[in-house]
Amino acid sequence: MMVREEELLDGAARVLAGDHSASMVQIAAGIGTSRATLSRRYATREALLKAVAVRAIHVVDGCLAPVDLPDGADGAAFDAALEELVVALLPAAHLYGFTTRDATVLADPAFRAGVDRQDRRALAFLALGQRLGRLRGDLPPYWIWYSLWGLLDAAAEGVRDGHLAPRDIGRLVTTSFLAGARPAVPPTAPHPAPPAP
């Protein structure tokens, strides 16, 4: 049975997410195909990594769709888009988190350009959230963005290791992320004590 290109690359990314140094033989075994079949499509490991990186950029581009809010978006629209973004990125972190730590991928100028473009979109969105008072203004937008990816990566690792259920990680990542990124709610003023009789 012919494996679709996207499925093959997603499978390879899953293997590489768990073992960044996996060989072509290990990658083929991990996705349930033969080394010969994999090599017919990708002559070298470097060619396979480049193809996975291209797919990663394409998939994350799609995940970032919620950040493109219309002019005049309010806090409620931002909140909805932020939660949609977090949920959309979950599978991207599970499949493609390794790309930002792989020397071969990082040396590819096209990949770096794609990541930089995605960062600019995300940072503009997060800065909007700060202006709307929906995210903490005392944190750099880059820190908020990196923090989100750190949680997504941790969730993917927890699922891979069997410590977390896939159905739970959306809630865990969202609540953990928002707990750190939201502004603190100012404490309510205590009610004055009733006058003494």
Dump pLDDT digits (tens) for 40-73.
Answer: 999 999 999 999 999 989 999 999 999 999 889 9
Tokens of 118: 């995605």
Q: What is the pTM for the complete model shown? A: 0.81
Residue 156: the pLDDT is 83
Residue 187: the pLDDT is 44
Q: What is the pLDDT of residues 17-47, one digit of tens each?
A: 888 889 999 999 999 988 998 999 999 999 9
Residue 167: the pLDDT is 86
Rounded Cα–Cα distance for residues 146 and 123 (Å): 10
List the one residue out of 116, 114, 120, 131 whose CA is nearest residue 71: 131
Rounded Cα–Cα distance for residues 152 and 173 (Å): 7
Q: What is the pLDDT of residues 157-194, one digit of tens each?
A: 888 888 999 888 888 998 999 899 998 764 444 555 55
Q: Are 68 and 80 in contact (CB under 8 A)?
A: no
Residue 192: the pLDDT is 56
Q: Looking at the predicted structure, is the pLDDT value of residue 15 above 80? A: yes
Q: Looking at the predicted structure, is the pLDDT value of residue 1 above 50? A: no
Rounded Cα–Cα distance for residues 88 and 170 (Å): 9
Least confidently predicted of 77-81, 132-136, 160-164: 160-164
Q: Are 36 and 75 in contact (CB under 8 A)?
A: no
Rounded Cα–Cα distance for residues 123 and 143 (Å): 10
Mean pLDDT of 112-134: 94
What is the CATH number assigned to the segment(s) 5-181?
1.10.357.10
